[in-house]
Amino acid sequence: MSSERAPLSADAVLASSADAVVGIDSERRVTVWNPAAERMFGWRENEVLGRELPIIPAELTAEHGAVLEQVRSGSPLAVFTRRVRKDGAVIDVRINTSCARDREGAHIGWVQTLSPWNEVQVQSAAMERARLVRRLTDVVADINADLSLKSVLDRISGSLTELTGADAGGFVLLNEDRVELVSLTDLSENLHGYSAPLETSLFGELLRSGKSVLLANDDTRTLDDLVWADLPGLHTIALCVSNVHGRPYGALYALYSQRRVGHVELELLELLAAHAGVAIGNAMAYEELNLQRVHEQAVSDSSADGIAVLDFGGRVRKWNRSAVELTGYPVEAVEGRHPPFPLPASHGEPVKHQLKDGRWLEILMARIPRTHEWVVDFRDITAQKALETEQEFFLATTGHELRTPITVIQGYATTLMRKWDRLSAEAQREAVGTIAERSATLSALVDRLRLGSDVARGELDVKRVRFDLRELLRRSVTAFTPLSERHDMTLEAEGELTRAVGDPLATGIIMDQLLDNAIKFSPEGGTVRVSARVEGDHVTVLVDDEGLGVVPGDEDRIFDRFVQSGVRGDRRGFGGLGLGLYIVRQLAREQGGEVTAHRRERGTRMRLTLPRHGDGPTGTAAAASEEQAPGRVPGQADGGGGEVSPEPSLPPVPPARVSHRQPPPQETSNSTKAAEALPRQRSGRRGAGRRP
């Protein structure tokens, strides 16, 4: 009797196979691992099932993925390659890979059969791989030779066709939810800059799959709706993700219209994409560094301070625009050399240095610990140094000006206290009169200091009313006429001067100072000519003398604080604090006018302008200004165009010390009274289609 035999099962076939058989699902996890696989590679079945294949060397990961992708989209494939054992030994194998499908024909995974190589096959495959490695190395070196991002992308696209044998190619950039074709080769330039939604693109499909390579051909889908269809005869598209710093940056597209694509080409595409990511990352870092340098340079050049960067040896590496302007040295003259000024100690006190052209610099220095460089910051302090010099002169002059009247007062007071009974009544009256006179001079001096301080703080508040300028000038000239036997004073007034707009008290102080200076700085005497006339919307007052004149270049400087208008150098021979013209200009400007100085062939011309009240359109503005003037006393100007007379205390009389002839003591303080009459305020015034 014959016995019935059991049918041959798939498990029995796998168990008895001499070759290693491995099953891989669509997620690339091991589902089959036969005994021959255990013997060949050393891993037991329970160690590999449900996991990714552990036998693939790291450098051949791209090859493995390329083989699986090609087989999924085409026919079975045999490759000669290497795999690694559990003990770390590398063995040469031949791998036959085929696609596993379900009963409906859908792809569900792969089946691989692995067997040892013979020596001839090993040598042949090794030589081919060495050739491909050299080719890839040359391509990568060429890509990395450029650090411009655009150039790198163009080099990648150009190398793509050379390395993979593609008929055309391109690089698509990922930009949030869209993709843009930024580089291409052997395609129409019209496609450059083409953009499409990521969701409907092949790139989006690749990202959703979680794989690094995607192979699309006309056997598995239609390619006619893709932008790449502009390539005649297109039948296959291979694309691979290019990651930069671990994140998808773009994708390489290899297009085939005549040639066929194999697993080697796919492997090279993936390797190129990986190297492209590195090259793009380097180019991006370089461009970011350049951008940072540009920003730093822009900040440095926009600084008003001179900025220099020195190396460890103290030699200039960077020299900004302000450094050139402050020192006069161009970058070429200082780069690689020590700076043209002394340096302070590290983080020490700043150094003040005067350049050959007279300019003063304040120099500070700090160290950059990470780079061992030094940053030197220097600024122009010429004006500050000049102010310090003027302040020193002011203190010396003020002490000198105060000492004389105080000494006289103290001397006479002491004499009266000790010798009162021995002095005659006339001598007593003379001593008391001298004390009163010198006290008035001292009071005027202190008031001048206080007025200068108010001007500096912007706390002057003058009125803007209509007044009779002709009458004010007449009184000023009349008051100054007897003060010097060496000077002749004249007045010429033309036009409607009754329509001047301003503050009569402030204008009186201005005329005091201008006439005072005209006499003071005309020690040899001469004519002081005062003239006034109407010029458009303004009235102009000119004070001409025949004195020393303004030092050339000082026409505007004499209006600064602590500067005298006659000469430079030792100015004590003329007396004064150097505040007069500073106060004059501020008083004029508070009234809407101006004071300027002009050199004459002999002497100086001082020019005062004030607004004029008119009846036409230009006069309307002056009237509005008058109505809005701060500190105005109601009723000072009538609404019907009537004139406002100067206040009774107006007649301006200068301090007694101006001339050789002393004015009566009771007139000496009129200017002081006028100054005191100026009100003060504490607020201050200062002025679609297809898809890739």
Secondary structure of 409-436 in HEC code, one letter for each residue: HHHHHHHHHHHHHHCCHHHHHHHHHHHH
Say what the pTM is. Answer: 0.40
Give residue-wise pLDDT tens across range 320-330: 888 898 898 99
Q: How high is the pLDDT of residue 63?
A: 84
pLDDT given at position 72: 85
User: Residue 610 — φ and ψ, nearest 5°?
Assistant: -135, 150
At 90 the pLDDT is: 87
Compute φ and ψ for 223, nearest 5 degrees.
-110, 0
Give the pairing type, strands 594-599 and 538-544. Answer: unpaired
Strand partners, 170: 184, 253
The three state secondary structure string of 99-167 is: EEECCCCCEEEEEEEEEECCHHHHHHHHHHHHHHHHHHHHHHHHHCCCCCHHHHHHHHHHHHHHHHCCC
Q: What's the rounded mean pLDDT across residues 438-459?
A: 66
* Distance from C-alpha of 366 to C-alpha of 378, rounded to nearest angstrom: 12
Residue 469 pLDDT more than 90?
A: yes
How many CB atoms lie under 10 A from the CB of residue 646? 17
Q: For the ranges 3-7, 102-106, 339-343, 650-654, which has the lowest average pLDDT?
A: 650-654
Average pLDDT, the chain: 77
Q: Check: CB of residue 306 under 8 Å from CB of residue 327.
A: yes
Would strands 236-244 and 247-256 be described as parallel, antiparallel, or unpaired?
A: antiparallel
Check whether 17 has a pLDDT greater than 60. Answer: yes
CA 273 to chain centre: 39
- Joined together, the tokens standing for residue 269 give 């595409």
Please give the helix or strand (H or E) that residue 533 lies within, else none. Answer: strand 526-535
Closest CA to 501 of 597, 633, 637: 637
Mean pLDDT along residues 299-317: 83
Alpha carbon distance 317, 338 (integer Å): 10
pLDDT class for 151, splitting at 50, 70, 90? confident
The per-residue pLDDT for 348 is 65
Band the pLDDT of 21: cuts 50, 70, 90.
very high
Burial (CB count within 10 angstroms: exposed 0-12, middle 13-18, buried 19+), residue 686: exposed
**Selection from 222-226, 541-545, 644-648 with the highest mean pLDDT:** 541-545
Long-range contacts of 376-379 (CB under 8 A, 24+ apart): 376/306, 376/307, 376/308, 376/309, 376/310, 376/339, 376/343, 377/305, 377/306, 377/307, 378/305, 378/306, 378/308, 378/323, 378/326, 378/341, 379/304, 379/305, 379/306, 379/326
Q: Rounded to an integer, what distance in angstroms lies between the CA atom of residue 453 and that of residue 439?
A: 21
**Out of 72-81, 196-205, 267-276, 558-567, which region has the weakest mean confidence (pLDDT)?**
558-567
As a whole number of angstroms, the distance between CA 170 and CA 254 comes to 7
Task: Check: CB of residue 365 under 8 Å from CB of residue 373.
Answer: no
Which has the closest alpha carbon to 526: 548, 547, 551?
547
Ramachandran sector of residue 190 (left: φ over 0; alpha: ψ -120 to 50; beta: rest): alpha
Query: Rounded mean pLDDT of 310-317?
Result: 88
Tell me how crowded residue 318 is: count the other CB atoms within 10 A of its CB. Answer: 19
Other residues' Cβ atoms within 10 Å of the Cβ of residue 146: 17
Rounded to 10°, the helix 504-520/670-677 angle is 140
Grade residue 440 by pLDDT with cuts at 50, 70 and 90.
confident
CA distance 316 to 461: 53
Q: What is the predicted pLDDT for the residue at 412?
A: 79
- How large is the average pLDDT for residues 583-607? 90
The pairs formed by 622-626 with CB atoms below 8 angstroms and a separation of 24 or more are: 622/501, 622/537, 625/464, 625/501, 625/592, 626/464, 626/465, 626/466, 626/501
333-385 per-position pLDDT tens digit: 999 999 999 988 766 688 888 888 888 998 988 888 777 888 888 988 888 87
**pLDDT of 240 strictly over 80:** yes
User: What pLDDT was estimated at residue 645?
Assistant: 33
Using DSSP's 3-state secondary structure scheme, residue 197 falls into strand
One-letter amino acid for residue 488 of the chain: D
pLDDT for 450: 65
Q: How buried is 608 (Cβ within 10 angstroms: 0-12 exposed, 13-18 middle, 19+ buried)? A: buried
pLDDT for residue 578: 66
Q: Which two tokens stand for residue 544?
A: 């001409």
CA dihedral 340, 346, 350, 354 (to 10 degrees): -10
Check residue 260 and give its pLDDT: 83
The residue among 546 and 459 whose pLDDT is bigger is 546
Counting Cα atoms < 13 Å in the Cβ hemisphere of 400 gives: 13
Rounded distance between C-alpha atoms, residue 314 and residue 429, angstroms: 75
